[in-house]
Amino acid sequence: MNMDKKIYKKLLEVPEGKVTTYGELAKAVGFTNGQRAVGKFMNQNPFPVIIPCHRVVKSDGKIGGYAYGEEIKTNMLKNEGIKIKDGKILDWEKTVFRF
């Protein structure tokens, strides 16, 4: 299986209302120091409605980039019940999903 498909498949495990980080997702598929590559794959996600790449954020709790803009990513996360203030996720430990 290609690395991008492994990453997208693993991302499907992150439930609505939770987020994971680029680094956590990389580690979960055995991709050492692959957070930048994960970001690239998220940016090229061919099925953003099905594969929830908006649930992948930076390890410091900041939203990070999104192919359709940070405002849309923020709104999508808020619609799932995630609390965000000034571009950063509140209640980090309760919100982060670890594989």
User: Active-site residue numbers?
Assistant: 53
Q: How far apart are CA 64 and CA 66, in angstroms?
A: 7
**What is the number of alpha carbons within 13 Å of residue 8 lying toward its C-beta?**
17
* HSE of 51, CA atoms in CB hemisphere, 13 A: 17
